[in-house]
């Protein structure tokens, strides 16, 4: 409607077009969005005539309604390369959404992002999207050696199906640089690759690193940070919905301290009590330090799907590699602001055990036996001595019981303690 010029509208008479032109209205959208009283004042006509003009434009430009039964799902789904993880995510990584993966250092966030950057390239019948990926780094370069290792070890990947040539990478060490990439550079790249290998995945590794600052925290810095996060989130949502791509943002965690805060019935909940529902899984295992996602409530409200990767102190001893660390995937899917109600969640929240192998993230089935680290073998016990020693021990125990009975029953006169002379050493 924004591009429909009034002069090209066939259902308006020449006099009506002249009246609208006199009022400075150029498009059909100008007519519809102008209140009747304002339209009457600008065009110098009666309010009834202004309302009739608006109704005429609306009736001839009404959108065509479709039944939900005939509307097809336009979102594409990319496999993660693991059937159990795909099932937990409702089939895999869905396009049109902003995904967040957060967790501790060395929990496997980058491993999952690299794995998806390769899997998005394979054909749809293998679980991919026949597309390409754009990997935006903040502090480190793209680990190409690890990418080649995953491509060689993963059963779904091969040199014929995927490669580094279909992964574009750019470094953004500043907030302004990331905004420029999302505003100018990335849309140009998407348009350039639209006819060949369309961009289906954008990775930001890692967003929280841009907001590390040695400056003292103040109200002005917090307001500026909130504005930057809001602008970045608006840009990634626009890219995801406009170009039907999946945006994967990696994030860090911060510690949660369990200080007791008393709240009276009926009082407002403090931020700490509310953050457990959008900040990530806290008490996953007994004795584990509680964690929550960085960037606070402002960023949490912008995420469609949130995945938490959590390290544990346990180990899974496998035959091929006895030193693989065992970790925990907590798919806490938190709803984010979205127009489409289908984007509120892709699957029910769940938890999965996984390990990181040469092929990337590998989920352990729930029915597999889980082994804890081997316990220390108890020290050898000396063989028992002959029966005579046992009898001696029994005799000593009987003597102890006699003395205990004596001190409990025998009464010593108080005068005996008063008349006792103590040697003080003088």
For residue range 357-398, list pLDDT tens digits in order: 899 998 887 654 444 434 444 444 445 544 444 444 444 555
CA nearest to 86, candidates 125, 127, 122: 127
Residue 106 has pLDDT above 70, yes or no: yes
Domain match, 56 and 98 both: no
Q: What is the DSSP string of 254-302?
A: EE---------TTSPPPHHHHHTTTS----SSTTPPPEEETTHHHHHTT
CA nearest to 347, candidates 329, 336, 337, 333: 333
State mean pLDDT over 127-155.
93
- Sign for the CA dihedral angle at 336, 340, 346, 350 comes to positive
State mean pLDDT over 28-34.
87
Q: What pLDDT score was predicted for residue 345? A: 62
CA angle 2, 7, 12 (to 5 degrees): 100
| Least confident segment among 149-163, 251-265, 312-326 | 312-326
Structure confidence at residue 61 as a pLDDT band (50, 70, 90): confident
Residue 355 has pLDDT above 70, yes or no: yes
Q: How far apart are CA 426 and CA 423, in angstroms?
A: 8
Structure confidence at residue 325 as a pLDDT band (50, 70, 90): very low
| Burial classification of residue 75, based on how many CB atoms lie within 10 Å of its CB (0-12 exposed, 13-18 middle, 19 or more buried) | middle
The answer to whether position 372 is within a domain reads: no
The answer to whether position 414 is within a domain reads: no
Q: Kindly provide the b/e burial profile for residues 207-226, where b requires at least 16 CB atoms within 10 angstroms of the residue's own CB.
A: bbbbbeeeeeeeeeeeeebe
Phi first, then psi, for residue 362 (nearest 5°) are: -135, 120
159 against 263, higher pLDDT: 159
Residue 111 has pLDDT above 50, yes or no: yes
Q: How far apart are CA 45 and CA 19, in angstroms?
A: 8
Domain match, 115 and 207 both: yes
| Burial classification of residue 250, based on how many CB atoms lie within 10 Å of its CB (0-12 exposed, 13-18 middle, 19 or more buried) | buried
Domain match, 333 and 222 both: yes
291 against 356, higher pLDDT: 356
The answer to whether position 412 is within a domain reads: no
Domain match, 51 and 81 both: no
How far, in whole angstroms, is CA 182 from its chain's centroid? Answer: 20
- Are 226 and 298 in contact by the 8 Å Cβ rule? The answer is yes
Domain match, 328 and 353 both: yes
Q: Which residues lie closer than 8 Å to 340 by C-beta, 6 or more apart?
A: 96
261 against 323, higher pLDDT: 261
| Burial classification of residue 289, based on how many CB atoms lie within 10 Å of its CB (0-12 exposed, 13-18 middle, 19 or more buried) | middle
Domain match, 360 and 291 both: yes
The answer to whether position 180 is within a domain reads: yes
Phi first, then psi, for residue 86 (nearest 5°) are: -60, -45
Domain match, 27 and 171 both: no
- Are 96 and 78 in contact by the 8 Å Cβ rule? The answer is no
Place of tokens 């060689």: 152
Q: What pLDDT score was predicted for residue 350? A: 82
CA nearest to 202, candidates 148, 165, 138, 245: 245
The answer to whether position 271 is within a domain reads: yes
For residue 399, the SS3 value is helix
Give the CATH number of the domain where residue 334 resides: 3.40.50.300
- Are 108 and 309 in contact by the 8 Å Cβ rule? The answer is yes
The answer to whether position 369 is within a domain reads: no
Phi first, then psi, for residue 323 (nearest 5°) are: -120, 15
Residue numbers of the domain that contains 186: 77-260+267-364
Q: What pLDDT score was predicted for residue 389? A: 45
Q: Which residues lie closer than 8 Å to 60 by C-beta, 6 or more apart?
A: 9, 11
Cα distance between the two ends of the chain: 112
Q: What pLDDT score was predicted for residue 332? A: 42
Q: What pLDDT score was predicted for residue 352? A: 84
Q: How far apart are CA 289 and CA 283, in angstroms?
A: 8
| Least confident segment among 27-31, 193-197, 262-266, 288-292 | 262-266
The answer to whether position 426 is within a domain reads: no
Number of domains the chain contains: 2
Structure confidence at residue 282 as a pLDDT band (50, 70, 90): very low
Secondary structure of 312-356 in HEC code, one letter for each residue: EEEECCCCCCCCCEEEEEEECCCCCCCCCHHHHCCCCCEEEEEEE
Q: What is the pTM of this model?
A: 0.63
Residue 341 has pLDDT above 60, yes or no: no
Domain match, 125 and 230 both: yes
Q: What pLDDT score was predicted for residue 247? A: 95
- Sign for the CA dihedral angle at 191, 193, 199, 202 comes to negative
Domain match, 132 and 233 both: yes
According to DSSP, the β-strands at 291-293 and 167-171 are unpaired
Chain mean pLDDT for the chain: 77
200 against 272, higher pLDDT: 200
Phi first, then psi, for residue 325 (nearest 5°) are: -75, 140
Domain match, 234 and 279 both: yes
Q: What pLDDT score was predicted for residue 263? A: 58
Residue 168 has pLDDT above 50, yes or no: yes
Residue 322 has pLDDT above 80, yes or no: no
Say which DSSP state 185 is in: I
- Paired tokens of 129: 């999207």
Domain match, 29 and 97 both: no
Beta strand spans in 192-242 (E) = 199-205
Q: What pLDDT score was predicted for residue 98? A: 94
262 against 128, higher pLDDT: 128
Domain match, 150 and 296 both: yes
């Amino acid at each position: 409607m924004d591009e429909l010029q009034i002069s090209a509208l066939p259902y308006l008479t020449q006099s009506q077009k002249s009246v609208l032109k006199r009022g400075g209205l150029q498009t059909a959208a100008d007519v519809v969005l102008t209140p009747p009283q304002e339209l009457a004042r600008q065009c110098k006509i009666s309010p009834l005539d202004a309302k009739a003009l608006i109704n005429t434009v609306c009736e001839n430009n009404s959108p065509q309604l479709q039944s939900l039964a005939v509307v097809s799902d336009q979102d594409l789904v990319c496999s993660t390369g693991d059937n159990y993880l795909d099932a937990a995510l409702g089939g895999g990584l869905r396009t049109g959404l902003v995904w967040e993966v957060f967790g501790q250092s060395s929990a496997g966030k980058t491993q999952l992002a690299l794995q998806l950057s390769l899997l998005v390239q394979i054909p749809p019948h293998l679980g991919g999207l026949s597309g390409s990926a754009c990997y935006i780094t903040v502090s480190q370069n793209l680990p190409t050696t690890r990418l080649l290792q995953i491509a060689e070890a993963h059963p779904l990947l091969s040199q014929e199906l995927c490669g580094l040539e279909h992964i574009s990478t750019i470094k953004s060490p500043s907030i302004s640089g990331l905004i420029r990439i999302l505003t100018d550079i990335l849309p140009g790249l998407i348009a350039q690759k639209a006819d060949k290998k369309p961009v289906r995945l954008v990775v930001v590794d890692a967003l929280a690193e841009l907001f590390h600052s040695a400056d003292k925290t103040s109200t002005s810095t917090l307001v500026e940070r909130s504005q930057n996060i809001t602008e970045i989130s608006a840009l990634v949502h626009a890219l995801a919905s406009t170009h039907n791509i999946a945006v994967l943002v990696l994030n860090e965690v911060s510690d949660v301290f369990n200080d007791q805060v008393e709240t009276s019935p009926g009082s407002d909940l403090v931020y700490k009590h509310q953050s457990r529902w959008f900040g990530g899984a806290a008490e996953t295992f007994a004795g584990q330090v509680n964690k929550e996602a960085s960037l606070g409530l402002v960023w949490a409200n912008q995420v469609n799907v949130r995945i938490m990767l959590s390290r544990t102190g346990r180990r899974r001893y496998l035959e091929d590699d006895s030193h693989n660390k065992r970790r925990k995937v907590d798919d806490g899917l938190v709803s984010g602001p979205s127009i489409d109600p289908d984007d509120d969640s892709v699957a029910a929240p769940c938890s999965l055990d996984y390990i990181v192998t040469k092929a990337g993230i590998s989920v352990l089935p729930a029915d597999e036996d889980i082994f804890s680290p081997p316990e220390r073998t108890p020290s050898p016990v000396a063989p028992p001595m002959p029966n005579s020693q046992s009898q001696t021990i029994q005799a000593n125990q009987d003597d102890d019981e006699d003395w205990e009975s004596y001190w409990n029953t025998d009464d010593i006169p108080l005068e005996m303690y008063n008349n006792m002379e103590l040697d003080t050493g003088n």
